[in-house]
Homo-oligomer: A and B are copies of this chain.
Amino acid sequence: MSAYASLAKARTRIYRYQHLAAIASWDRNAMMPPGGNEARAAAEAELQALIHRQRTDPAMGGWIAAAGSERLGDWEVANLREIARDWREACALPDDLIEAKALAGARCEHAWRSQRPANDWRGFLENFREIVRLSREEAQRLSDHLGLAPYDALLDRFEPGVRGADIDRIFGDVRTWLPGLIENVQARQSQHPPVDAQGPFPVDAQRALNREVMALLGFDFKAGRLDESAHPFSGGVPEDVRLTTRYSEDDFARSLLGTIHETGHARYEQNLPRQWLDQPVGSARSYGIHESQSLSFEMQLARSRPFLGLLAPLLKKHFGDQPAFDPDNLYRLWTRVKPGLIRVDADEVTYPAHVILRYEIERPLIEGSIEPEDVPALWDEKMKSLQGLDTRGNYRDGCLQDVHWTDGAFGYFPSYTLGAMYAAQWFAAMRRDAPDLDARIAAGDLTAVFDWQRDHIWSQGSRWTTPELVDRASGETLNPAHFRQHLEHRYLN
């Protein structure tokens, strides 16, 4: 067997173990009763340790070196590059650290599920200290191994090649115009307040609506499901994508738009290159590129005036008619800009403020210049300076609001705003290729959007580095000007 074939075989095995890990994780979040948690945490940690041992199999180093001089096709060359990248990163971390972090993460997240409704920061802090301690150790080891600064080493796992210095530059630029934009947009929107939708919206009707919109957006229900969980996510495997949402009878929009968001993630996964799925080159490019898909669906497409013309009849069908469902009103309603405490409910203008806040806390937390107990005060201060909001004592809607730090996923948050910027760049490119894009969408033809994403993003897996992918897809590397233009065009026109 060639060295490359040995690598491919080892990666297929890892892919299968990761399949089981994905299903166990989905189940834990969407299905598992609380009594299962201790045993599940132990089982998942055992599996993660196994996967880690396989990813760091000493034989791989030799195969990677030897495969470099074997005769390989283009995809195989890219696959070898991705295998080597994963191997280097995995070798930086010892088994016991991985296992301890998985165990602590599962415990912390499970406790968080009841601590959040109880506003119990003290209780949370007890588990969270251990998460931070292990994440710092992880960052330091990655740093030593890869020759990157500790936070950069974490960031590199989510957005390869992007550094803290890049984020500083991009977020620094956003800080110069975002507060002013938020103010201008609010002043402008106050002149034409939209009509709010009147509930209650029965949960069964919402479920049916969500499924119909997912089908409109091309979700393949033979290869995935929609369920419910406290924190919506897209999980599962490319062959069987598991989306979740949550319902409130008062507000169908949160669940619907969240579902559209996750459907963007899902279509990326469902349309990755089938013949390479079991190899690293067949997986999605990065967290930022992934988010560019969910935001392409949720922000660029679903909140556009032409798409809302398609959506309005579906709302009437499932909830009955009401003035709020007029497409122009829906547009004003769903592009309303309003500072708020909850990231996942934020509009696309204030969203970067949430991400900048997380970045400005998690980076010094990892670098050791602040401690876990400093988080609430910093949160309060930054929420005040970025959005003018008071969040003191309200941990539930503050630093307990979501699950990323709970899992120790430091370095993840910047991907959200990078994703928003990529998505704006994709739609700029689409409009260049198809100037009648909006007319087509208004006529119910979404194929131009799907085809562009399939050709340029989905089908490419990890064949290219992120900058190559962005350049091949849009003719230039990441250019945040598209995002600013998108916001100004949508919100100040």
- Interface residues, chain A, with chain B CB atoms under 8 Å away: 13, 16-17, 19-20, 23-24, 27, 31-36, 38-40, 42-44, 46-47, 50, 220-225, 236-237, 239-240, 277
Contacts and interface: CB of A to CB of B under 8 A. Distances in A.
Nearest to A36: B240
Contacts of A236: 36
Contacts of A46: 13, 16-17
A30 to B, nearest CB: 9
A395 to B, nearest CB: 26
When A and B form their complex, which 10 residue pairs have the shortest distance between CB atoms, in order from nearest? A36-B240, A35-B223, A19-B43, A39-B239, A16-B46, A16-B43, A35-B222, A20-B20, A36-B239, A20-B43
B237 A36 contact: yes
Given A13-B46, A20-B20, 12 more contacts: A16-B42, A17-B46, A19-B39, A31-B31, A33-B224, A33-B225, A33-B240, A35-B222, A35-B224, A36-B223, A36-B240, A50-B50
Given A19-B39, A23-B23, A46-B13, A33 B222 contact: yes
A17 B49 CA distance: 12
Contacts of A43: 16-17, 19-20
12 contacts: A13-B46, A17-B46, A17-B47, A19-B39, A19-B40, A20-B24, A23-B40, A27-B27, A33-B223, A35-B222, A36-B239, A40-B239
Given A33-B222, A225-B31, A20 B47 contact: yes
B237 A33 contact: no
A2 B309 CA distance: 72
A13 B95 CA distance: 15
Contact of A23 (B27, B34, B225): B27
A27 B47 CA distance: 18
A20 B23 CA distance: 9
A236 to B, nearest CB: 8
A31 B240 CA distance: 10
A221 B16 contact: no
Contacts of A19: 39-40, 42-43
Contacts of A31: 31, 225
B47 A16 contact: yes
Nearest to A30: B31
A221 B33 contact: yes
A278 to B, nearest CB: 8
Nearest to A26: B27
B16 A239 contact: no
A47 B14 CA distance: 11
Contacts of A35: 220, 222-224, 239-240
Nearest to A238: B39
A237 B277 CA distance: 30
A36 to B, nearest CB: 3
A44 B225 CA distance: 20
A36 B239 CA distance: 5
Contacts of A20: 20, 24, 43-44, 47
A126 B17 CA distance: 29
A40 to B, nearest CB: 7
A27 B35 CA distance: 18
A16 B106 CA distance: 15
A27 to B, nearest CB: 6
A32 B236 CA distance: 10
B34 A222 contact: yes
A233 to B, nearest CB: 16
A229 B86 CA distance: 39
A19 B44 CA distance: 9
A36 B26 CA distance: 14
Contact of A38 (B23, B221, B239): B239
A28 to B, nearest CB: 9
Contacts of A239: 35-36, 38-40
Contacts of A16: 42-43, 46-47
Contacts of A23: 23-24, 27, 40
Nearest to A22: B43
Contacts of A50: 50
Contacts of A224: 33, 35
A286 to B, nearest CB: 23
A224 B39 CA distance: 13
